[in-house]
Amino acid sequence: MDAKEIIRELAQAARGAAGVLAGSRGAQRDEALRSCAEAIRAGKDRLQAENEKDLARAGELGLTEAMIDRLRLTDARIEAMAVGLEEIAAQTDPVGQAICAYNRPNGLRIEKRRCPIGVIGIVYESRPNVTADAAGLCLKSANACILRGGKEAIHSNLAIAAVLREGLAGANLPAECVTVLESTDRAMVPAMATAEGLIDLIIPRGGESLIRAVAEAATIPVIKHYNGVCHVYVHADADLKMAEKIVLNAKCQRPGVCNAAETLLVDAAVAQAFLPGAAEALRRNKVELRGCEKSRALVPDMKTAAEDDWRAEYLDLILAVRVVDGLEAAVEHINTYGSKHTDAIITGNLVAAERFVTAVDSASVMVNASTRFSDGAQYGLGAEIGISTDKLHARGPMGAEDLTTYKWIVTGAGHIRE
Amino acid sequence: MDAKEIIRELAQAARGAAGVLAGSRGAQRDEALRSCAEAIRAGKDRLQAENEKDLARAGELGLTEAMIDRLRLTDARIEAMAVGLEEIAAQTDPVGQAICAYNRPNGLRIEKRRCPIGVIGIVYESRPNVTADAAGLCLKSANACILRGGKEAIHSNLAIAAVLREGLAGANLPAECVTVLESTDRAMVPAMATAEGLIDLIIPRGGESLIRAVAEAATIPVIKHYNGVCHVYVHADADLKMAEKIVLNAKCQRPGVCNAAETLLVDAAVAQAFLPGAAEALRRNKVELRGCEKSRALVPDMKTAAEDDWRAEYLDLILAVRVVDGLEAAVEHINTYGSKHTDAIITGNLVAAERFVTAVDSASVMVNASTRFSDGAQYGLGAEIGISTDKLHARGPMGAEDLTTYKWIVTGAGHIRE
């Protein structure tokens, strides 16, 4: 069978499971999630044995030390997968919620009711725990899922899927609720992305090239998760001590993640008062600074930023620094060079904050808070499937609710149109 | 310039206008809508003169009488465009609405606030009044739009755009809020559909081949508007008089539209009591029936339905008829052959209604009401941009609110992550 046929067959089975899930009660899905958590704990030895097979091939596949570390299923990571599923089980059920409901003048009752999307395809790389997280969120929202992880984690991913299917059986749900592709053939990804009528949505998670490949092949809807070029803008009316604390946190607390700050914009009005001290504090935290000419006039031993630095996602202890002439210039910089992920303003001025919030075209806009808060758990969504950089359907951190759609339910008493 | 360059240039100008719109007040946009309505009334003679140019070429382009009729800008249609814009102006502003807002335990304030999407591309066919409707809904929701109508209506569409731009100027908004492509080059459609970072969403409205072409070319999000294969299912516990009245309405009141019924499913339990009388009433209304073997046993002079009939969107006075063994068989038929648009159950049984509503995977599910109610105006959404058959972002009738996205606004008092 070629890739398209394999996907058709698996997706048809998944659609059957999706039909069962659509009619299931929340209690049954939560029971399945807890049952999956138990199966993961009980299957620890098997999971680690399969994980060893992946680790043994890591050198031959040319994985870096960091990638090998992320691949490893330690005791703690296996327990974390189980706890993650239990936490998803404890969340509110998004299915069946009324988004709104009202009567029309003619007596028709209209309800916009949340329901599952159907079959969701997820394409990801490296970390095998994504398999459990993604399957758990799809199950919570009553969707069947087809998961395609990287070839470097294929044994681990298949072992996790086998364990999850035991968990599903424990709650009397079909195994086809969760499918991990056995084949690591590259042709599977475009086959998934063009499975119209079979897969309802595809979510790529990983590097930019993976996401771009999915978006270009896709004829079904895609929700993209590009990375973050996040800004902190220190406004003229900022509390400068607060600003320094937030810049340090946004850059240094965890520099390798998408919601870490990459560029600092400083209002010209406070550049002299703010920048030399902030630069010193950043350097004490081992941050390399790359500045515009005006920044370098205030902090002379800073490297010169090139045009590319304004677009860079360093994911490292490097920060681009630019002095801007006021709020509109900051907005212009962010909307030109940013990635519409997360951007912050530090200000005590309410009008400035409101203008920034309206004008910055990003998924999350922070006022007097670190960009690092841009995260599903921090927003109270529970586990997240990712942080969407798209504007359609779901934007920013995506939780189980964002894996639902809605249907219009119209109830009459024999109503006809005149 | 090739198509990609033309689109890039126009879309960049539109992005500038979108920035102005994002920062504009609702009152200004409503004033612009009313000003556009006045400009349309004042420009009637010009519009009709340009429309004559299109009508003069209609024969040479091979348009049918029905297409020529839809193309004609009569006095009444021009007035209807103006009234349509005034009605959009009178709707509630979707921009700035809080979808939800709450405090986190750490004191962070989280708000999910509606905002415009940015630049929306709309590709459509034939009726020039779509130009005014689509532009009006985009303007209401603070989006700039790039419109690509059919070549058969190019003079009319450009004239409407020119008049709308006068209206925009009357409210001090940039002309680039509304752009109609001057070129009718086919390469414009894929150029729009791949304008990543320039156009945020593309909505194709028209025949299936147009929609498919856009979906296949697109790397940006698409919301598809496929047609309707709508069902009416007469359940065992239906009020049979009500059922007959609804079937007649769903089929005959306006057979050429997407929410008209195309297939009647009759529960075997009531087939004998219902079908002969209903068939007679349908025939009195000039409806041709095509039935399954069981239907033909009850109404012998019915034509035999072929497999293709279950998938047919007749848009005509033809109805496929099938006797089904209970509710699950009806659901199975609808989910297999339907188009996920609008499907109805007629029943007095609450459990059956709830099961049907949950299990049918369609944008609108009607209980004891005609499928013809599946419509933005009937749902109280005001004017609609179309009826989405996709599940992502917007499903079913789409109004101005569905042309918005949201951003997360997070307000702290110097909050950092520990």
Which contiguous run of DSSP H or E holds residue A85? helix A75-90
Confidence band for B236, pLDDT divided at 50, 70 and 90: very high
CB contact under 8 A, A368 and B413: yes
Which member of B23, B355, B412 has the closest CB to residue A369? Answer: B412
CB contact under 8 A, B358 and A23: yes
Distance from CA of B392 to the nearest CA of A (A): 6
Q: What is the CATH number of domain A230-373?
A: 3.40.309.10
CB contact under 8 A, A414 and B246: yes
pLDDT at position B226 is 85
Confidence band for B327, pLDDT divided at 50, 70 and 90: very high
B288 strand-pairing partners? B318
Coil, helix or strand for B309?
A: helix
Q: Which chain B residues contact residue A358 at CB under 8 A?
A: 22-23, 115
Residues B206-232, mean pLDDT to the nearest whole number = 91
ipTM of this model? Answer: 0.94
Q: Which chain B residues contact residue A416 at CB under 8 A?
A: 245-246, 248-250, 253, 369-370, 372
Which member of B221, B364, B407 has the closest CB to residue A407? Answer: B364
Which chain A residue is nearest to residue B212, measuring alpha carbons?
Answer: A219
Which member of B201, B407, B416 has the closest CB to residue A249? Answer: B416
Distance from CA of B382 to the nearest CA of A (A): 13
CB contact under 8 A, A363 and B407: yes
Q: What are phi and psi of A195, to 5 degrees?
A: -85, 65
Distance from CA of B169 to the nearest CA of A (A): 22
> B414: phi > 0 → left, psi -120 to 50 → alpha, else beta; which?
left
Residues B85-109, mean pLDDT to the nearest whole number = 96
pTM of the model: 0.94
Identify whether the C-beta of residue A248 lies closer than 8 Å to the C-beta of residue B414: no
CB contact under 8 A, A23 and B222: no
Q: Helix %, strand %, coil % for chain B, to 5?
A: 45, 20, 35
Which chain A residue is nearest to residue B217, measuring alpha carbons?
Answer: A219
Output Rg (C-alpha) for chain A, integer angstroms: 24
**What whole-number distance in Å separates Cα of residue B43 and Cα of residue B160?**
9
- Joined together, the tokens standing for residue A53 give 């097979």
Which member of B215, B362, B408 has the closest CB to residue A364? Answer: B408
B291 class by beta-carbon count within 10 Å (0-12 exposed, 13-18 middle, 19+ buried): buried
> Which of A333, A341, A408, A411 to mutate: most B Cβ within 10 Å?
A408
Residue A314, pLDDT > 80, answer: yes
Distance from CA of B156 to the nearest CA of A (A): 31
Q: What is the mean pLDDT of chain A?
A: 96
Identify whether the C-beta of residue A319 lies closer than 8 Å to the C-beta of residue A287: yes
Of A225, A201, A270, A4, nearest to A124 by C-alpha is A225
Coil, helix or strand for B63?
A: coil
pLDDT in tens, B168-215: 999 999 999 999 999 989 999 999 999 999 999 999 988 888 999 999
Distance from CA of B57 to the nearest CA of A (A): 35
Which member of B102, B215, B393 has the closest CB to residue A393? Answer: B393
Q: Where in chain B is the domain with CATH 3.40.605.10?
A: 3-226+394-411
Q: Which CATH architecture has domain A3-226+394-411?
A: 3-Layer(aba) Sandwich (3.40)
CB contact under 8 A, B253 and A417: yes
Residues B384-411, mean pLDDT to the nearest whole number = 95
CB contact under 8 A, A391 and B118: yes
Which member of A215, A219, A409 has the closest CB to residue B365? Answer: A409
pLDDT at position B384 is 87
Which chain B residue is nearest to residue A107, measuring alpha carbons?
Answer: B369
Residue A329, pLDDT > 80, answer: yes
Residues B128-138, mean pLDDT to the nearest whole number = 95
CB contact under 8 A, A373 and B415: yes
Q: Count contacts between A and B (CB, < 8 Å).
A: 213
CB contact under 8 A, B200 and A391: yes
Min mean pLDDT across A275-284, B121-130, B350-359 is at: B121-130
**What whole-number distance in Å separates Cα of residue B230 and Cα of residue A358?**
42
pLDDT at position B255 is 94
pLDDT at position B335 is 96
pLDDT in tens, A79-123: 999 999 999 999 999 999 999 999 999 999 999 999 999 999 999
Confidence band for B382, pLDDT divided at 50, 70 and 90: confident
Which chain A residue is nearest to residue B250, measuring alpha carbons?
Answer: A416
CB contact under 8 A, B409 and A249: no
DSSP A222: B
Which chain B residue is nearest to residue A240, measuring alpha carbons?
Answer: B414
Q: Which chain A residues contact residue B102 at CB under 8 A?
A: 380
CB contact under 8 A, B391 and A201: yes
> Which of A111, A114, A388, A391 to mutate: most B Cβ within 10 Å?
A391
CB contact under 8 A, A411 and B215: no
pLDDT at position B361 is 96
pLDDT in tens, A178-187: 999 999 899 9
In B131-208, where do the E strands start and end? 144-148, 178-180, 201-205
Q: Which chain B residues contact residue A366 at CB under 8 A?
A: 410-412
In B217-350, where do the E strands start and end? 230-234, 261-267, 288-291, 303-304, 318-324, 342-346
pLDDT in tens, A30-84: 999 999 999 999 999 999 999 999 999 999 999 998 889 999 999 999 999 999 9
Q: Which residue has the higher pLDDT, A382 or B395?
A: B395
Q: Which chain A residues contact residue B363 at CB under 8 A?
A: 407-408
CB contact under 8 A, A392 and B412: no
Which member of A200, A395, A413 has the closest CB to residue B405? Answer: A395
Distance from CA of A401 to the nearest CA of B (A): 12
Residues B132-146, mean pLDDT to the nearest whole number = 97
CB atoms within 10 A of CB B5: 10
CB contact under 8 A, A335 and B390: no
pLDDT at position A360 is 97
pLDDT in tens, A251-283: 999 999 999 999 999 999 999 999 999 999 999
Q: Which chain A residues contact residue B335 at CB under 8 A?
A: 19
**What whole-number distance in Å separates Cα of residue B416 and Cα of residue A260?**
12
CB contact under 8 A, A410 and B239: no
**What whole-number distance in Å separates Cα of residue B343 and Cα of residue B227?**
13
CB contact under 8 A, A369 and B415: yes
Identify whether the C-beta of residue B380 lies closer than 8 Å to the C-beta of residue B369: no
